[in-house]
Structure 1
Amino acid sequence: MRSAAVFLALLLCLQWTWAQGESGEVTGTDAETEGGNRQEEVQFEIQGVGAAHDQSSSQTNISPDIWAELKELRDMAIEQKVELRNSKSKIEKLEQENAATQARLTASESKNAVLEARMSSYEDMVKTLQRENKVLGATVTASNNKVEELRRDNTVLESRVNTSENLVAELRRENMVLETRMSSSENEVAELKRENADRPKVAFSAGLTDAGPVGPFNTEITLKFSKVFTNIGQAYSPTTGIFTAPVRGVYYFRFTVWGGRPSAWMGAYLYHNEKRMTLSYDYNDEQAYVSASNALILQLEKGDVVYMTLYPGSGVFDDSFNRTIFSGFLLFAL
């Protein structure tokens, strides 16, 4: 009975020691010192129990194996205490590592928040740049289209400029030819002017009369065109009706005769010196009017004469309307 009480006391001491180790009030060297003291106390108590057991062994019937079990329990308790101390050290190290990890995690979270903010800012910047890039792309596309259009226009303009330059070069060549020809023409004109300055100017035009009818006569008479309109060079004589060539040359003559007598002949000759050159006449068979015209180009020597005569038995008519006219002029001298 007494042995059982001692065993219970021993178990209570072990339980109190474990409780003290779990309470965490002592750590490190103090825990080891206190553990050593407790171990000595336990050993002392066990020795006391052993001594008591030796004293009362004669009075009890407890098996000797209980001491081996108690020793084993003691070793197990010591081993558990050592493991407990090691576990507490590991726990403290893990707690320190966990605190450091938590601090690093907090710092990482702070950095991550900063990075997220910067990333959000970067994303906004990227979106803005993308929008600006789209606008710039559209602008660049429009600019490229404008550049292509300007290139096409420039090609057309270059073609037109080349054509214009070729045309200008051709015009310059033609202008040079024209200038040469003009210079030659100017020289010819100057020569002609000099020639014309020395060449006589001859031209005349005259009407027959304002008295009305002239003729008929039985013989030819020279028609005296007395109404002088032009007489440059004074080669025509209204008194005689004769044109006298002042120079050797080619002359142009033209005349018109008009008749108003019914049932009568109307006509006239043109003479070069004594030679009849042409006869123009007509017959007025009723009370109508008739006329005749003719023209010649004659080569005359200086002093040659040209005049007109009335056709025998015919008559002509003239009045203020100048119906009967004789004209001539020098084409060029020979």
Structure 2
Amino acid sequence: SGRNSERVWQTDGHSVELGQNDTEPIILEGKCLVVCDSTPSSEPAGNALGMSVRSGSGRVAFSASRQTNHEPTDMSNRTMIIYFDNILVNVGTHFDQESSVFLAPRRGVYSFNFHVVKAYNRQTIQVSLMVNGWPMISAFAGDQDVTREAATNAGLVIMEKGDKAYLRLERGNLMGGWKYSTFSGFLVFPL
């Protein structure tokens, strides 16, 4: 046939020609043979099957906190996004400190958790984890007799590449107490 090929003999005496550069699985008597790429790209060592794997693509994690008890700003009052000024972890740099928005680098299952503290009694707050503007999970803190109380929750979310996740204050005021507030997330596994 003019191309490099390999002949594989089946148990019934018939043969099948395998092209060197074929990457489609080949069915022999109902069983699938996986044909690996014979010219793997220049990836890190340890890639025995020649599959394309980007180095560190599965390492996505962030954790941020409020370092100071910021009073409300014009920006936070307009967007109601809860801003975090202290990055503890930002593997992959997908959490933007300025906007406090996480940008999903790839489709996958992501885990998020948050802990937002209210500082003054007689105030109720509701916090939502937003993905592309839609609330996915929410938390509530509304005990009228407690000076400091936290709205806290955690959950798994399927995100597409480019999806944005952030915390929004749905109810209440951004006043004090934020020194103990945190927002964290990581890629559990890609899809």
Structure 2-normalised TM-score?
0.64
| The one of 179, 184, 187 aligned to 1:327 | 184
Q: Conserved in 1, the CA contact under 8 Å of 2:126 and 2:172?
A: no
Change (3 A) 1:198 1:328: closer
Separation in 1, partners of 2:184, 2:130? 14
Q: Which runs of 5+ in 2 are unaligned?
A: 1-46
Q: Conserved in 2, the CA contact under 8 Å of 1:260 and 1:284?
A: no
**1:304-319 equivalence runs, <5 A:** 304-315=163-174, 317-319=177-179
Letter in 1 for 2:137: T
Residue 198 (structure 1) shift? 5.9
Residue 312 (structure 1) shift? 3.3
Change (3 A) 1:199 1:211: same
- Aligned counterpart, 2:125: 266
| The one of 98, 112, 115 aligned to 1:253 | 112
Separation in 2, partners of 1:236, 1:328? 9
Structure 1-normalised TM-score?
0.38
Q: Secondary structure at the match of 2:55?
A: helix
Residue 286 (structure 1) shift? 2.4
Separation in 2, partners of 1:196, 1:219? 39
Q: Secondary structure at the match of 1:299?
A: strand
Letter in 2 for 1:260: A
Cα RMSD (Å) of the superposition? 2.9
Separation in 1, partners of 2:117, 2:105? 30
Determine which structure has the larger helix proportion and give its number.
1
Q: Secondary structure at the match of 2:162?
A: coil
- Aligned counterpart, 1:286: 145
Percent of matched pairs sharing the same residue: 29
Q: Which has the higher contact order (CA 8 A, sep 6+)?
A: 2
| The one of 228, 239, 251 aligned to 2:98 | 239
Q: Conserved in 2, the CA contact under 8 Å of 1:218 and 1:312?
A: no
Residue 226 (structure 1) shift? 1.5
Larger Rg over CA atoms: 1
Change (3 A) 1:198 1:261: closer
Letter in 2 for 1:318: W
**1:1-334 equivalence runs, <5 A:** 195=53, 197=55, 199-212=57-70, 214=72, 221-315=80-174, 317-319=177-179, 323-334=180-191
Change (3 A) 1:199 1:223: same
Residue 200 (structure 1) shift? 4.0
Q: Which runs of 5+ in 1 are unaligned?
A: 1-188
Separation in 2, partners of 1:195, 1:294? 33
Give the length in aligned residue pairs: 142
